Chains A and B, each alone.
Chain A
Amino acid sequence: MNYAPTSAQQGPDNPTSASELLADSQFLQELRRQMVKFARLQLQDDDQAEDVVQEALAGAMKNVGSFARKSALKTWVFSILKYKIVDALRYRQRIIVTSELADDEQREQQFMDSLFKSNGHWHSAERPSSWNGPQGGVQSEHFWRVFDACLNGLPEKQARVFMMREFVELESEEICEQLALTTSNLHVILYRARMRLRECLENNWFDVPREGP
């Protein structure tokens, strides 16, 4: 939890611990596994995910001396990974083919019709509920599994744009530039992605009655 890498409050602790960690094969394997998973989600391509993780780890090995704490090391390795992923995505922008667009539109129209009546108001069964109930603040391991599944369920383009915006935390302009999208394209894609994600989380997590506290 207390991962914030503020060097001010840490002081110069043992400078070898991070490199020891990267030499620890069990730690390294586990870290690698988490990274591959993260990269796969965003790239939707196993080989490319392995590649970016390899590059990110190689980069980390080179500069490991400057990291003392395990949590700081992890945060840092993941931030390198994010940049590698963005690089990989940049080469892929041409993959968004226009021939898919007609199908996409029809699918989105159907999805919206399932949520909203023709007057643009919620169907009563689809009206968003409050997420402040007992399932609220619980970001347990189980919650993240559901979150993963919901992310995986997004159409590829939506998942990619959503992750660039919310995970990699790129500004709108950068995403538009990298994927050759107009600002209004971007807004629509993010809207659709969020719409699906919230729907999925609500149905599979927040509105699911559970026993116990």
Chain B
Amino acid sequence: MNCKQATRLLSERQERTLSRKEQMALKIHIMVCRGCRNFGDQMTALRSFSKSYSKARASTDHNAGDKNEP
């Protein structure tokens, strides 16, 4: 498995359960590849950013809005 294939699976596992074979190959790759390990963490981070996006936007914009116009 190379990094291109590993990153593809790291994205895809957010939509589907990987097969045992895929999971195993991915696990081995991740163990030796820091870049892909970071990529995996980043996929999780992207999801959580997206989840908090509208809430964070609403609250920061609102606070910012309070300062505008009397």
- Using a CB–CB cutoff of 8 Å, the interface residues on chain A facing chain B are 1, 3, 26, 30-31, 33-34, 37-38, 74-75, 78, 112, 116, 119-122, 127-132, 139-141, 144, 147, 165-167, 169, 172, 186-187, 190-191, 194-195, 197-198, 201-202
Contacts and interface: CB of A to CB of B under 8 A. Distances in A.
Interface residues of B, number: 39
Contacts of B4: 112, 116, 120-121
The A interface, classified by DSSP as helix, strand, loop or mixed, is: helix
A34 B61 contact: yes
Contacts of B15: 165, 172, 186-187, 190
B64 interface: yes
Given A130-B41, A166-B47, A120 B57 contact: no
Contact of A1 (B38, B41, B59): B59
Interface of B: 2-5, 7-8, 11-12, 14-16, 34-36, 38-39, 41-43, 45-47, 49-62, 64-65, 69
Contacts of A1: 59
19 contacts: A30-B65, A34-B58, A116-B2, A116-B4, A120-B5, A121-B4, A122-B3, A122-B36, A128-B38, A128-B39, A130-B38, A130-B41, A131-B41, A144-B53, A166-B51, A167-B53, A191-B11, A198-B43, A198-B46
